[in-house]
Copies of this chain bind each other. A is one copy, B any other.
Amino acid sequence: MSHTATGHHGYISDKDEYLRRLRRIEGQARGLQGMVSDEKYCIDILTQVSAMTKALEAVALGLLNDHMTHCVLTAAQEGGEEAEEKLREASEAIARLVRS
C-alpha cells in the first residue's frame, strides 16, 4: 500500500476506531445544540462539554502517539534535519494541546 502516491501518511493505527470516536463527538456537538436550543439546565450542558472535551483530548493523544511511533521514529532512524524538524513540530503540537 503506497501512501506516498496518494498523499496519505499511513501512520494511523486504527482508522475506523478514530472515525467512530469522531462521529460520536460530532453527535455530542449536535446534542449540545439541542440542549442550548431547549435551554436545558446550564450545569448539565457544562457536564456534556467536559465529556466532549475529554473525548477530543483522547483522540488527540492517540493520534499524537501514532504519529510519534510512526513518523517521528522513522525520521529519527533516517536521522539528520528531517528528524529534528519532526520533533520540533511534535513539540509544538504538544505545547498547543497542553495549553488548550
Where the two chains meet, the residues of A that have a C-beta atom closer than 8 Å to any C-beta of B are: 3, 7-12, 15, 18-19, 22-23, 25-26, 29-30, 32-33, 36-43, 45-47, 49-50, 52-54, 56-57, 59-61, 63-69, 71-73, 76-77, 79, 83-84, 87, 89-100
Q: A65-B91, A76-B77, A97-B98 are in contact. Are A42 and B71 (CB under 8 A)?
A: yes
The 8 Å CB contact of A64, one of B40, B77, B94, is B94
Cβ B67 vs Cβ A43 within 8 A: yes
Min Cβ gap A38→B in Å is: 7
| Interchain CA distance A48-B12 in the complex, whole Å | 16
| Interchain CA distance A79-B40 in the complex, whole Å | 23
